[in-house]
């Protein structure tokens, strides 16, 4: 997005055009090309300038619509860039982090690489004094506009995060860009700021957002690694410096019922057990945190296999840390016999879950070629080292 076009969008004329673009976007039957032509026709000014302004307004209207999934109703008042929205923290996750920072007792936070300001917004709404820096002038302008649009106080500036003195702030927060010239990168050597900066920052009072796939052995000593999922999707891992840490490994799950958390202190371990009446599929954050046996202990069960994240138990439990299923029956594992068994039961719509076996659900579903009117869930996994197919029913 062009910086001048974005700044114009914040003027009275720009705001009027943006409102019209949003209104047209909300009319699902409006053809995008017709909407663009209508806005160009009714916006005064030189043709080339108007074209840029209309493009900026329509882009912003579209981004606001997409952003609702991350920011809820706040998205309708906020501003975004395409990559800034993609990389921004989901509001529920950012609010959890802001609450932890506030509980630590920090009154202020500096965001080192603030992007479009999603975390600044969450921290400011939590009552923290906020400041942010970013290398990209457009993102800085967007972050500043977002604070103003939501009537929040904060300072944002264009600066290199590695040059900032964080000592005036109670806590430093960083979300390193995990991209290289080749695209998204899982190599910490490609991060900006680099991993060496992250390690140094964690010697102070700090929190750093990292990719969920970060290896456990990369986490510095005395630092807490927290994996966070939102409605079943693992969104991030966060590293908390020693004075902010309250555990070594933590899984935090956010759902309709609120927030729940597990740590290694909740994990007495669990044995490998035979298949029971109920099967539990731990949340991705629990798996990433290595706390599957904590879930097993919590439901009075054990692991189906020491290397597979499925838990089995004889009792039905409701837990925020796993999805539960009643095991209806064991079906043949081999494809031909499995197809016959499913057809015999009139199953035509099949959800396939798998762990620990070489099965591609989409390919298997197509090969099964089912046509019945019943719906079912099938779990493909290993039990006692052997491939197993389980017909299950989700617990309410």
Q: Whole-number mean pLDDT of the chain?
A: 93
228: domain CATH number is 3.40.50.150
At 137 the three-state DSSP class reads: helix
Overall domain count for the chain: 3
Closest among 25, 151, 71 to 17, alpha carbons compared: 25
For residues 233 and 300, membership in a common domain is answered with no
Closest among 305, 324, 321, 287 to 313, alpha carbons compared: 324
For residues 111 and 250, membership in a common domain is answered with yes
Under DSSP, the state recorded for 272 is: B
* Sign of CA pseudo-dihedral 166, 167, 173, 179: positive
Alpha carbon distances (Å) from 90 to 69, 120, 141, 186, 371: 8, 12, 20, 20, 39
For residues 97 and 138, membership in a common domain is answered with yes
What pLDDT is attached to residue 180?
54
pLDDT tens column, 133-185: 999 999 999 999 999 999 999 999 999 999 999 999 999 999 998 765 555 65
Contacts of 190 (CB under 8 A, 6+ apart): 178, 179, 180
**How long a stretch of residues is the chain?**
396
Domain containing 50 equals 3-77
pLDDT tens column, 289-344: 999 999 999 999 999 999 999 999 999 999 999 999 999 999 999 999 999 999 99
For residues 117 and 27, membership in a common domain is answered with no
Residue 44's pLDDT band, with cuts at 50, 70 and 90, is confident
Closest among 92, 65, 59 to 229, alpha carbons compared: 92
For residues 330 and 382, membership in a common domain is answered with yes
Closest among 381, 374, 376, 380 to 393, alpha carbons compared: 376
For residues 242 and 175, membership in a common domain is answered with yes
346: domain CATH number is 3.30.2130
For residues 94 and 184, membership in a common domain is answered with yes
What pLDDT is attached to residue 43?
84
Domain end call among 224, 239, 261: 261
Contacts of 265 (CB under 8 A, 6+ apart): 247
For residues 111 and 224, membership in a common domain is answered with yes
Q: What angle do CA 206, 128, 257 make, to 5 degrees?
A: 85
Tokens of 45: 């000014």
For residues 242 and 366, membership in a common domain is answered with no
pLDDT tens column, 2-43: 899 999 999 999 999 999 998 887 655 567 777 888 888 888
Domain end call among 261, 286, 310: 261
Q: Averaged over 223-235, what is the pLDDT?
A: 96
Under DSSP, the state recorded for 223 is: -
- Specify burial of residue 10 (Cβ count, 10 A radius: 0-12, 13-18, 19+): middle
Q: Averaged over 73-90, what is the pLDDT?
A: 95
For residues 308 and 385, membership in a common domain is answered with yes
Residue with tokens 């998205």: 75
For residues 252 and 107, membership in a common domain is answered with yes
Domain end call among 235, 261, 287: 261
Pairing of strands 206-210, 224-230: unpaired
């Amino acid at each position: 997005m062009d910086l001048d076009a974005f700044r114009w969008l914040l003027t009275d004329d720009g705001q009027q055009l943006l409102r019209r673009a949003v209104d047209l976007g909300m009319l699902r039957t409006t053809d995008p090309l017709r909407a663009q032509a209508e806005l160009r026709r009714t916006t005064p000014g030189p043709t080339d300038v108007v074209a840029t302004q209309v493009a900026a307004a329509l882009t912003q209207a579209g981004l606001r619509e997409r952003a609702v999934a991350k920011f809820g109703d706040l998205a309708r008042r906020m501003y975004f860039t395409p990559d800034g929205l993609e990389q921004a923290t989901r509001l529920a996750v950012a609010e959890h982090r802001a609450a932890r920072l506030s509980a630590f007792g920090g009154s202020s936070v500096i965001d080192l690489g603030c992007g479009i300001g999603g975390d600044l917004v969450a921290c400011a709404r939590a009552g923290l004094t906020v400041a942010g820096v970013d290398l990209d002038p457009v993102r800085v302008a967007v972050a500043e506009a977002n604070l103003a649009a939501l009537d929040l106080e904060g300072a944002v500036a264009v600066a290199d995060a590695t040059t900032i003195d964080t000592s005036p702030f109670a806590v430093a927060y960083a979300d390193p860009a995990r991209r290289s010239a080749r695209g998204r990168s899982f190599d910490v050597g490609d991060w900006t700021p680099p991993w060496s900066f992250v390690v140094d920052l964690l010697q102070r009072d700090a929190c750093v957002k990292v990719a969920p796939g970060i290896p456990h052995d990369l986490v510095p000593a005395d630092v807490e690694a927290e994996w966070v999922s939102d409605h079943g999707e693992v969104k991030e891992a966060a590293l908390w410096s020693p004075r902010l840490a309250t555990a070594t490994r933590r899984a935090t799950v956010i759902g309709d019922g609120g927030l729940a958390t597990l740590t290694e202190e909740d994990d007495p371990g669990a044995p490998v057990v035979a298949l029971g009446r109920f099967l539990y599929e731990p949340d991705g954050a629990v798996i990433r945190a290595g706390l599957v046996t904590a879930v097993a202990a919590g439901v009075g069960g054990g692991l189906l296999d020491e290397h597979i994240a499925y838990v089995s138990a004889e009792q039905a439990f409701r837990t925020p840390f796993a999805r539960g299923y009643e095991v209806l029956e064991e079906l043949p594992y081999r494809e031909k016999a499995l197809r016959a068994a499913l057809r015999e039961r009139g199953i035509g719509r099949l959800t396939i879950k798998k762990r620990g076996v070489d099965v591609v659900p989409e390919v298997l579903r197509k090969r099964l070629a089912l046509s019945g009117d019943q719906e079912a869930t099938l779990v493909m996994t290993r039990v006692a080292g052997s491939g197993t197919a389980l017909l299950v029913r989700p617990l309410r």
